[in-house]
Amino acid sequence: MTRDILLQIAQVVTVLVLAPLLQGVITQWEERVQRAQGPGIFQPYRDLWKLFHKQLVVPETASFVYWIAPVVAFTCMLTVPILIPVLTNFPLPLSDMGDILGGGLILTLGSFMVTIAGLDSGSALGGIGSSRVVMLGILAEPTLILVFVGITLLAKSMLPFVVNHLLVQQPAVYWGPAHLFLVAAFFILILVETDRLPIHSSTHIEVYMIEEARILEYSGPLLALLKWASAMKQFILYTIFCNVLLLPWALSISGLAIGAFGAAVALFLKCLVVAAVVVFVETAQSRLRYYRYQEPLAASFLLAVLAIVANQLR
């Protein structure tokens, strides 16, 4: 029992520690593809350290929502690793608190609080960023629900550990059209949720700003929490994509320390493979205008529907 609790803590710590590193690698790869030097892969850690030691500057119009949103978002990202297979392929003591849908609801709660905070500050750019996120969510959320339905029909369960075991033990299901359609649909959702669509840009250019606009009024430790929570959300989505759908192997079976450490290394390597594909997709396409945001999301929705149909015909 003590070992399982330590593994549960290790899963959260793994996401907490490796999330900024993954963000640093992706940022550097994007710069290298564009023939720029780019920051070091450890720059996100230095940025967080600097922000935690800076003074807070709070807008006069901000209410209590401004203060609690970063804490709620960060707490949500600490909760999801408890529910999903990060290091082990078997449930841990608190893993039965929720299924994939529960994890998705917690991730959505964190994003919802940041969106409300963007509106609460009274900033024009905050309102733009929040409204754009909501517009994307109109198509992204139904697609996410359909992906969950497809996973449920595929594995006859919404528990991520059951899906992992099914895909490992039955290659026919892994290479089946239903599973492949789900992988493609979820990959597009990752692009949306991690601000990597070719209509997005994590810069301070107003015409492209979406994610950055929501948190523009934050500074100091609160901004550090939001930046860290965003990196953790990205790492969590990559973890679900790799350990549940795409590469469900290389997880600890016995729960020994060496196995958990090996699983953490393997997880990061799997995330790097997905990150390389994401960087290629993001940089290989021309920047789309914002009003075309529905095109990739509609494709993801269609892939999720095809996955459900293919599963019924299986």
Give pLDDT, residue 287: 61
Residue 230: how many other CB atoms lie within 10 Å: 24
Q: What is the pLDDT of residue 42?
A: 93
* pTM more than 0.85: yes
The number of domains in the chain is 1
User: Percentage of the chain with pLDDT > 70?
Assistant: 92
pLDDT tens digit string along 170-225? 998 999 999 999 999 999 889 888 877 766 555 555 555 677 778 888 889 999 99
Which structural domain, as residue segments, surrounds residue 21?
2-313
Lowest mean pLDDT among 8-17, 74-83, 121-130: 121-130
Residue 198, pLDDT score: 62
Integer Cα distance of 3 and 135 in angstroms: 44
- The C-alpha atoms of residue 11 and residue 3 are separated, in whole angstroms, by 12
- What are the angstrom distances between the C-alpha of 16 and each of 75, 230, 295? 11, 11, 33
Cα–Cα distance between 136 and 95 in angstroms, integer?
30
**Residues 153 and 308 sit within 8 Å (Cβ to Cβ):** yes
What does DSSP assign to residue 288?
P
DSSP notation for 19-48: HHHHHHHHHHHHHHHTT-----TTHHHHHH
Contact 12/33 with Cβ under 8 angstroms?
A: no
Q: Is 200 helix (H, G, I), strand (E, B) or coil?
A: coil
194-208 pLDDT tens trace: 877 766 555 555 555
